[in-house]
Amino acid sequence: MSGKNVTEVVPADAEGIAKAVRILALGGIVAVPTETVYGLAARADKAEAVAKIYAAKGRPDFNPLIVHVRDVDQAKRFGEFDGASEDVAGGEWPGPLTLVVPVADNAPIARAVTAGLPSIALRVPNHAVMRAVLEKCDFPLAAPSANRSGFISPTSAAHVKASLDGRIDLILDGGATQAGLESTILAIRADGTWQVLRPGPVSEAYLAETYFGGRSASGAELNAKLEAPGQLASHYAPGKPVRLNAIEPRADEFMIGFGAVSGDCMLSEHSLEEAAARLYDCLHQSAASAKPRIAVAPIPNDGVGAAINDRLSRAAAD
C-alpha cells in the first residue's frame, strides 16, 4: 500500500471506482478527480486513515481538511446547519463551494480533520467520479488537494503522479478537472455573520447578492487566519521566482499570458473561467520549463479573477 514505490493509475470506470472504494474502506488513501482539482481522499472517521493524508502530503497538522459528503442530509450528521447555511447548501451543492459551520456534537470525525477547531468544513462535490465514490462509501471523505504540501495543485492524474508517486495507494484518472481552482470557502456563524475564507469559483459578490440580501461580509472583527489556518501566504509554489502583472517577458522568464498579452502558456484570450481551469496546468508547465523565472500577465479581479489573483499572489510569495 502506501509504502510502494510506484502508485497505480487506473481509469475512473466502474472497476476503478470499486477498487478505490475497497482501498478507502480499509483506511488507504486514493487520489480522486473532483470538479475543482484532484483530491487526496481518506475516510474522515478514522484517525489512522487521515494521518496518512498528512504524511503523504507533508502537510502541517494545524491545517484542517475539507470533508466531502454525498448530500445535505449526510452533511447534517457532521455540521450544525441553520437557515442561512441550509439555503446556501441547498442552492450551491453539489458544487465548488465549501461551507464552514459549527461542528455537530459527537460528529463521527477524526480529530485531526478539524484540527481541534469548533467548526467543520463540508462540501458536496459535483464530479461524476467523486460522487460515485461517495455513493458507495458509508463514511465521509477528507480530501485536500492531491499534491505535496505547498506545491501546485493537480488538475490531471499526471500532475498527481508527478507529486505523490509511491506515497499513495491509487490514482483514479478521470481526465482534466473543470473549474481548476480549489473551492470557495464560506464560513457562516451562529450569530448570522458570514465571511469568504478563501476565494474560489463561486464569487463573494454572487454569494452576498444571492443569500445575504446584498449585505457585505461581516467578519472584519474576526480573525480569518485563526478560522482558516491553512491559508498560508506561500503556497501553490512553482519553486521559481514569479513576477506578476507583467506585460512582456524578460529573456529568462517563462511567460504565462492572458487576454492581449501572449505567452509560452496561454491562460485564455478572453475568459476568466477558462483561465481558472488552465491556471495550474500553466504553472506546472512553467515549473518544468528550462527558464529560471516566471512572469504572469495581469488578470482582471472580477468574478473568478479574484480567486486566480489570490492563488497567483501565493505562488509569488516566498
Residues at the contact surface with ligand AMP, assessed by CB under 6 A: 63-66, 100, 114, 117, 119-121, 144-145, 182, 185, 197, 227-228, 230-231
- Report which DSSP code applies to 160: H
Q: Which residue, 183 or 255, is less far from ligand AMP as judged by CB?
A: 183
Residue 299 contact, options ligand AMP, Mg ion, none, Cβ 5-8 Å cut-off depending on partner type: none
Residue with cell 505567452: 263
Residue nearest to ligand AMP (CB): 230
Q: Which residue, 157 or 228, is less far from ligand AMP as judged by CB?
A: 228
In whole angstroms, how far apart are CA 100 and each of 48, 79, 315?
24, 8, 25
Q: In what order do the strands lie in the sheet with 242-243?
A: 242-243, 293-296, 253-257, 265-266
In angstroms, give the least distance from the CB of 314 to Mg ion: 10
- Interaction residues for Mg ion, span 107-166 (CB under 5 A): 145
Q: The C-alpha cell of 317 is what?
A: 510569495
Q: Which amino acid, one-letter code, is at 5? A: N
Residue nearest to Mg ion (CB): 145
Three-class SS state of 16? helix
**Site membership for Mg ion, residue 85 (CB under 5 A):** no
Residue 117 contact, options Mg ion, ligand AMP, none, Cβ 5-8 Å cut-off depending on partner type: ligand AMP
Three-class SS state of 118? coil
Residue 121 contact, options ligand AMP, Mg ion, none, Cβ 5-8 Å cut-off depending on partner type: ligand AMP
Give the residue from 318, 144, 171 showing the smallest Cα distance to 238. Answer: 318
In angstroms, give the least distance from the CB of 115 to ligand AMP: 7
**Site membership for Mg ion, residue 34 (CB under 5 A):** no
Q: Which residue, 183 or 295, is less far from ligand AMP as judged by CB?
A: 183
Q: Which amino acid, one-letter code, is at 95? A: G
- Report which DSSP code applies to 154: P
Alpha helix segments (H runs only) across 107-238: 111-114, 128-136, 157-164, 204-211, 224-227
Residue 199 contact, options Mg ion, ligand AMP, none, Cβ 5-8 Å cut-off depending on partner type: none
In angstroms, give the least distance from the CB of 157 to Mg ion: 17
Residue 100 contact, options Mg ion, ligand AMP, none, Cβ 5-8 Å cut-off depending on partner type: ligand AMP
